[in-house]
Structure formats: structure tokens, C-alpha cells
Amino acid sequence: MKKTPGIPATIAMLLCLTAAPVASASELLEGLLALGRNDYEQAARILLPLAEKGDPLAQVNVGTMYLDGRGVPRDESMGIHWHERAARQGVLVSQYLLARTYGDGDTPTNAVRGMMWFEVIARESSPDETRKWLAREPDEIAREARSLGARLAQEQLVRARELARACIASRFSRCD
């Protein structure tokens, strides 16, 4: 499994800070500062309870920490769990990391789920959002999606599009 794409968690989350619930904003900032100091154990102690309470910014950071094994044991399934929770709250960074993580997976089911998240990004994100939140040009994301799509059969592509439509229509509550 590759390390997560080159998006430092602290930068991505500082960009999102305005969406944090006021009650946990100072705790969130403390956790992000710990990440910035590479104090991953302290960041995990602070961010995990916030993630469990539903804070999407904590969830994306905790998910990345699990995927990379920083401050917590490396655990892809836990990383996916936390990114799924954040993605279902509309966090573009988590949607992209899921597309990449599932797309890099070894099973056809994972590849279809990865393509679903690429479809969600294509339909729900503006070029400015992909530049701001993902530090990537929209054509880079499209190339990644095409590369994954080239590995899928036509019926898998159709299924990924159906899943994306259902996910968007449900405002991210049905993204299975």
C-alpha cells in the first residue's frame, strides 16, 4: 500500500478549520498543531475522540494517520473507516483518498468503489475546489480516474456511476 498522496494533513485540515464545530475548535487546533510538530501520538490522543464525536476534520486526519501508521498502528481498514465517515460529510480530501485507496486495491469491488468516489468528485467538485483542497489540477484527477476506469469492465463502470448517483442523491448517506 502506498503512502497517502502528497497532501500534508495539517495543511488540508487548516484549510477546513472554519467548518469545525466551535466547541471543539481549540481541541482541533491543538491536534493539528501536534501533527505539524510530527507529534503523532499526541495528535492521535486529541483527534481520535473528536473523530468519534463526528468531527469530519478530525476524521480525515485520523484516517490518514491510520493509513500511514503515524501515531497509531498502520491499519488500512481503520483508515478507510475514518475516511468513509469524513467523505460522507462531504470532505473532498477523504473522497479523493478513498478513490485512490480503493483504486489501488486488489479486488474488483474495491476498484468499483474507487471509481464511484472519482465520479462523486467529478460531479460534486469545482476545478477551484480540487486545486484548493487537493492541491491538484482537475485534469490530473481526471487522468487518475481514466487510468482506474481502463482497468474496469463496462458493467463495472456502469455500477460505479450508479453508486455515485445514489451517493450524491442521498447527500452521502448511501455510498455503499
Indicate the number of domains in the chain.
2
For residue 21, what are the domain limits?
Answer: 9-87
Closest to 118 (Cα-Cα) out of 90, 160, 61 = 160
Phi-psi region of 69 (alpha: psi -120 to 50; beta: other; left: phi over 0): left
Please spell the DSSP secondary structure of 34-46, one letter per residue. Answer: HHHTT-HHHHHHH
Number of H helices, E strands in the chain: 10, 0
- Same structural domain, 106 and 121: yes
pTM: 0.83
User: 61-78, pLDDT tens digit by residue?
Assistant: 999 999 999 999 999 999
Domain assignment present for residue 2? The answer is: no
The span from the CA of 174 to the CA of 81, in Å, is 15
Q: Which of 87, 106, 133 is the last residue in one of the domains?
A: 87
Q: Which residues contact 6 (CB under 8 A, 6 or more apart)?
A: 135
* Confidence grade of residue 148 (pLDDT, cut at 50, 70, 90): very high
78-112 per-position pLDDT tens digit? 999 999 999 999 999 999 999 999 998 777 779 99
82 and 21 within one domain: yes
- What is the predicted pLDDT for the residue at 162? 97
Whether 23 and 78 map to the same domain: the answer is: yes
Reported as a single tens digit per residue, the pLDDT across 20-59 is 454 478 999 999 999 999 999 999 999 999 999 999 999 9
Residue 3 lies in a domain: no
